[in-house]
Amino acid sequence: MPVWLTIVVTVVSVLGAVVTAIATLLLWRVTKVLAVETRRMADASSQPHVVATIEPNRWSMIHADLRVENTGNATAYDIEVEFDPPLQNGESRSEKQLPLQRLSVLKPGHGITSYLTEFEPIIDQKYTVSVTWKRSRDASTREGNSYELDLSALKGISRLGASDPGVQIAEQIKKMREDWQYVASSFKKVKVDIYTSADRLHEQRALERRWRREERQRAGSKPE
């Protein structure tokens, strides 16, 4: 084989190896980028998001409930809730610890509600709410959410009847139970009309007498 041909074959082989190495490096780079983006999209589409709000009580609009809810699509762990200025329990529960300040776990789409106080003392208040959580029990970093909660927006709201059909059903059942207690305790008397066999016999005899009387009247009115 001529020397020049050997040199050409060697150069082509080296260039082929270099091109293969570059292509392999580029493929590795693209694969890594795709893996990172896939993981980022998976994390973005599956993450908890916890909020704390103060809402009207479902039974009485003059009372306020504290509600902590996970509106995301992943479970939140080790949840901490903080209000600034700090929340205060109602007068009847002023000595007790404020509820729902720490929660160990909250599933996606789930929330926990606890009675807080009457609305009147806090209706003009603005709170800065800070909620933090972990994505897993052993996670080293915490995620959070901070926002302003202005309760004055709830001024003047009204409601016609119960807001929850379940509350309406419960109220009607309670009323029925209270009415029945009066009957069961003989506090109220129930008037009942009874239709017995003697009543049916009396009605049948009355119909027979009426029928015979009409027959006599028809017989007396026939022309001779």
What per-residue confidence (pLDDT) applies to 76?
95
Q: 139 with 79, same domain?
A: yes
Q: 70 with 150, same domain?
A: yes
Q: 117 with 66, same domain?
A: yes
Q: Is the pLDDT of residue 57 over 80?
A: yes
Q: 68 with 135, same domain?
A: yes
* Count of other CB atoms within 10 angstroms of residue 68: 23
Q: Any residues with CB less than 8 A from the CB of 179 and at least 6 apart, and which? A: none
The distance from CA 164 to its chain's CA centroid, rounded to whole angstroms, is 12
Q: 116 with 188, same domain?
A: no
Number of domains in the chain: 3
- Answer yes or no: is 42 within a domain: no
Give the mean model confidence (pLDDT) for residues 95-105. Answer: 87
C-alpha to C-alpha distance for 224 and 221, rounded to whole angstroms: 9
Model confidence pLDDT, tens digit, residues 65-93? 999 999 998 999 999 999 999 988 876 66
Question: CB of 108 within 8 A of CB of 73?
Answer: yes
Q: 77 with 133, same domain?
A: yes
pTM for the model stands at 0.57
- Answer yes or no: is 201 within a domain: yes
Model confidence pLDDT, tens digit, residues 16-26? 888 888 888 88
Q: What is the domain extent for residue 97?
A: 50-154
Q: 223 with 146, same domain?
A: no
- Answer yes or no: is 74 within a domain: yes
